[in-house]
Amino acid sequence: MSRQSNHDKVLTNQDGIDERRAQWAAELPDVDTRGMAILGRARWITLTARPPIEELFKTHGLDSGEADVLFTLLRSGPPYRLRPTELFRSLMISSGGLTDRLNRLTKAGLIRRAAAESDGRSLPVELTDAGIRRAKAAFQEDMAIEAAMLAGLTEDEQRDLARLLKKLALTITGTRPLD
C-alpha cells in the first residue's frame, strides 16, 4: 500500500472491514452488512490477538488448551481440584479432548489424578504446586498482553464495549439480556 493510501486510511478511519462492506454495497446494495461490521471485526480481533497469546503460552511450555485447563483449575480456588466432567463442561470441549490435555499435563507434572480404576472421568484433577506456579505466571502475563491490546480504549470505552459484547453474546446464545 502506498504512503498516500495509508495516510488516507488514517484520515478516514477505515479498516479492512469497511473496505469489504463498501465492495459488497457496490456489488449487492440490497444486502445489509451491519453484521460484518461487528462480527467480522470480532473475528479479525480474535485472529489477530491469538498469536501473541499462543506465543506466551509456548514460553510456559503450554498450548492454549492446556492453559485453559490450568486456568480453570486455578480459578476454582483451593484445593484447585475439579472432576473431569466439571472441567470439560467449563471448557466446552469433548471428554476425549480433555483426556488428551490431562494426559499431557500429568506427564508435565502440572496436574495429578488418582489412579484410574473404573472410570477416569470421575476422578478428581488437581493442580500440583508446579501447576499452580505455572498457571499463575502464564495467566498474569496473558492479562498483561490483553491489557496492552486494549490500551487504545479509555476505561469507559472498555467498560462500554464489554457491556455491549456481553449483551450480544447473551442474545446470540438465546439468553435474554436484562437491559
HSE-CB at 4 with a 13 A cutoff on CA atoms is 0
Q: Is residue 116 helix, strand or coil?
A: coil
**Is residue 5 very low, low, confident or very high in pLDDT (cuts 50, 70, 90)?**
low
Domain boundaries 32-172, CATH class:
mainly alpha
Q: Is the pLDDT of residue 145 over 80?
A: yes
Tens of pLDDT, residues 37-93: 999 999 999 999 999 999 999 999 999 999 999 999 999 999 999 988 888 888 877
**Pure H helices in the chain:** 3-12, 16-27, 34-35, 41-59, 64-75, 84-91, 95-107, 129-149, 155-172
In terms of Cα–Cα distance, which of 67, 42, 43 is closest to 56? 67
User: Using CA atoms in the order 58, 55, 144, 75, what is the torsion angle rounded to 10 degrees?
Assistant: -40
Domain ranges for the chain: 32-172
Give 170's pLDDT tier (boundaries 50, 70, 90).
very high
What value, to the nearest 5°, has the Cα angle with vertex 158 and ends 47 and 146? 45
pTM greater than the 0.75 cutoff: yes
Whole-number average pLDDT of the chain: 88
- Taking only Cα atoms into account, the Rg of the chain, rounded to an integer number of angstroms, comes to 21
